[in-house]
Chains A and B, each alone.
Chain A
Amino acid sequence: MAENQKQNYLTHPKGIMSWLLTLDHKRIGLMYLFGGIIFFFLGGVLALGMRLELAAPGNDFMSNETYNNVYTLHGAIMIFLFIIPAIPGALGNMLLPLMLGAKDVAFPRLNLASFYIYTLGALFVVYTIIAGGVDTGWTFYTPYSTTSTSNVIPMTMGIFIIGFSSILTGLNFIATIHKMRIPGLTWYKLPLFVWALYGTSLVQITATPVIAITMVLLILERLLGIGIFDPALGGDPVLYQHFFWFYSHPAVYIMILPAFGIISEIIPVHSRKKIWGYKFIAFSTLSIAFIGFLVWGHHMFTSGQSVFSQIVFSFITYFVGIPTGVKIFSWILTMYKGQVSFTPPMLYALSFLFLFTIGGLTGIFLGAVALDIHLHDTYFVVAHFHYVMQGGTIIAFLGGLHHWWPKTMGAMYNQTVASICCLGVFLGFNGTFFPQFLLGLRGMPRRYATYDPQYAELHNYSSFWSGILGLSIFIAIMNLLWSLRKSNKLDPGTNPWGAMTLEWTHTSSPPHPHNFEEEPVLEHGPYDYDKVIVEPTFKK
């Protein structure tokens, strides 16, 4: 037994090939994490480069052309190479089979194939960077993208390829959730992270093919001159935006739904209280996934689409607020009268609640046609989607990383450093992006390297705090890696937070190569803090 306990997926089997050709979902998850963090770092460096340029009004540091390349690459890398794959690819792969009591995902070989398809797509993006970048913005709007001389084709090809990785992961997760649950683990006993992954996977397989088609049409138009989007060839440029946002708006939910799932796990565990409104949270996930398909035109209020569709899109957009509000209130009520402990994952979850709510509420501003026409393409929009994407998804991702790190790596990080970093991220984030709401309201347009001196003070402030934000995230990740050093390794035990889901209660930390030494038997629901007492195995 003691020998068996030492065996874990990190050390067994050994050798580089055992990693590169692994079919183990946990190792594939770690490889995604590794890839994701590299691109997160790259995207972050580009962001800090932009903030450096914007610290003062003139072209102090980069030319307009360079700036165009930098913001395009920042957006494309962060979205397609980090945020979309990070949570499902890394945390989802790592945790889904563990949460279901399964040995692996339904199709382990397909899972490895997804990772390599992601890598291949990433290589195209890296090639684009080396070949001189691309300057269209991450949305590749026509007609500029069909005439720009920058590397549009390799970049869009990369996104086309990464899309397949996303589709295959979604397919794999759906099959796994349907078929690989242990007996007794019915739909309403699933952890909410699993529901979130299910909703995400549905969106991935239904929306992603459309971005693939869009990219192919764009490439065909550039290469063969077929008139689809370019008016000079008889096409309709607004049609491109319909195609693009039919994927990219649901993609916002591919990014945020798994984050909701993470928060639904962290809050009950660290409040030691049963989740409030389990079914409401579960079904709000599915309804967000569905409503997300009906609102894409709110990105196009100034594109020249018909006034009738503007009204329809604006009206439907408000429906998204309902299921999202349901979730926020459920999380708050979960904490009410709970034993809230301010551990690093919980601090991230609390930051999420605050930041995502600001992101969501400013989305309501932008969903109103009349207001959007004033705010479109200003820093208000930049601030809004950063509050959602970074304040929402990336904060939740960092929270999830801190929550499951002891489980996946078998080491506990320095919690004081982690908490200080979380505070740094929170302050740095607000310091960076809140002034951008004000800049946008005052008319500062996005995507310019220079600006009128009247905006200098707010830009300066934003740039200063972006440094704090970058540094805090960097130290937070270093703190996690530092915990792996043999000399200061703290053993978290199997269940450091006293959680109730199977990955905590029935596996060692790090888990056994086959996940469970014997098939787990379900003894209680995922959040039954009112019925069962589970003691944390780690005391600070």
Chain B
Amino acid sequence: MSEHHITPLKTYLVIAGALFCLTAITVWVSYFDFGSLNIIIAMGVATFKATLVALFFMHLLWDDKKNLTMFIMSLMFLGIFITITLLDTGFRGGVNPEVEYPINKRAAFYDSLPLTDTHGNPVDEHGTDSHEGDEDHH
């Protein structure tokens, strides 16, 4: 059996401080619009925080590396799930453009949002856009 690692209190406090700082950064960046990078920045900061928790608070840094392997494996499965699901949602218009944007664009939920065509472009209310479905929407 490997020797049990005792982490000094100082390490915990430093990590806790770092987590608070990162939380502040998350809030701060939310005031800026980076367009499509918004989600990447938010998730990046969150992932970094989760990594700190796993490595230091959950002791994965010092533990038997088998535990770290198991942990990384679970992330790998999450990656598989998300990536392959995106192969569906990202390519739905491949053959039939009508299904490119899922039906939820017509949902009641979107009634308050400006009207768009199936490609997400804004549509004039009185419609030069000839897309059939939008007429039902009115």
Identify the A interface with B (CB < 8 A).
206-207, 210, 227, 231-236, 238-239, 242, 246, 293-294, 296-297, 304-309, 312-313
Contacts and interface: CB of A to CB of B under 8 A. Distances in A.
B99 to A, nearest CB: 6
A536 B34 CA distance: 75
A232 B94 contact: no
Contacts of A234: 104, 107-110
28 contacts: A206-B73, A207-B77, A231-B102, A232-B107, A233-B107, A233-B109, A234-B104, A234-B107, A234-B108, A234-B109, A235-B104, A235-B107, A236-B104, A239-B89, A242-B88, A294-B80, A296-B84, A305-B88, A306-B87, A306-B88, A306-B91, A306-B92, A306-B93, A306-B94, A307-B95, A308-B87, A308-B94, A313-B84
Given A206-B73, A307-B95, A238 B88 contact: yes
B104 A306 contact: no
Given A293-B77, A306-B90, A308-B91, A231 B84 contact: no
A242 B82 CA distance: 10
B81 interface: yes
Nearest to A238: B88
A294 B87 CA distance: 12
B107 A231 contact: yes
B103 interface: yes
Interface size grouping (class) on chain B: 20 to 34
Nearest to A207: B77
B88 A231 contact: no
B95 to A, nearest CB: 5
Given A294-B84, A307-B91, A308-B87, A206 B103 contact: no
Contacts of A242: 81, 85, 88
Given A294-B84, A308-B94, 15 more contacts: A227-B109, A231-B106, A233-B107, A234-B104, A234-B108, A234-B110, A236-B102, A238-B102, A239-B85, A242-B81, A304-B99, A306-B93, A307-B94, A308-B88, A309-B87
Contacts of B109: 227, 233-234
Contacts of A246: 81
Contacts of B73: 206
Interface string B62-92: 0000000000011001001100110111111
B91 A232 contact: no
A524 to B, nearest CB: 29
Contact of B91 (A227, A304, A309, A313): A309
Q: Is the interface of B mostly helix, strand, loop or mixed?
A: helix
Contacts of B77: 206-207, 293
Interface of B: 73-74, 77, 80-81, 84-85, 87-95, 99, 102-104, 106-110
Contacts of B94: 306-308
A304 B88 CA distance: 9
A362 to B, nearest CB: 24
Contacts of A231: 102-104, 106-107
Contacts of A312: 84, 87
B104 A309 contact: no
Contacts of B74: 206
Nearest to B87: A309
Contacts of B104: 227, 231, 234-236
Q: Which 5 A-B pairs have the closest CB atoms?
A: A234-B109, A306-B91, A308-B91, A309-B87, A305-B88
A210 B87 contact: no
A513 B59 CA distance: 38
A293 B102 contact: no
B84 A236 contact: no
A373 to B, nearest CB: 13
A294 B81 CA distance: 8
A5 to B, nearest CB: 37
Nearest to B107: A234
A451 B5 CA distance: 68
B1 to A, nearest CB: 11
A254 B52 CA distance: 33
A305 B87 CA distance: 9
Nearest to B108: A232
A58 B74 CA distance: 50
A438 to B, nearest CB: 32
A334 B122 CA distance: 67
Nearest to B102: A236
Contact of A297 (B88, B99, B106, B108): B88
Contacts of B89: 236, 239, 306
A296 to B, nearest CB: 8
A384 to B, nearest CB: 23
A262 B75 CA distance: 31
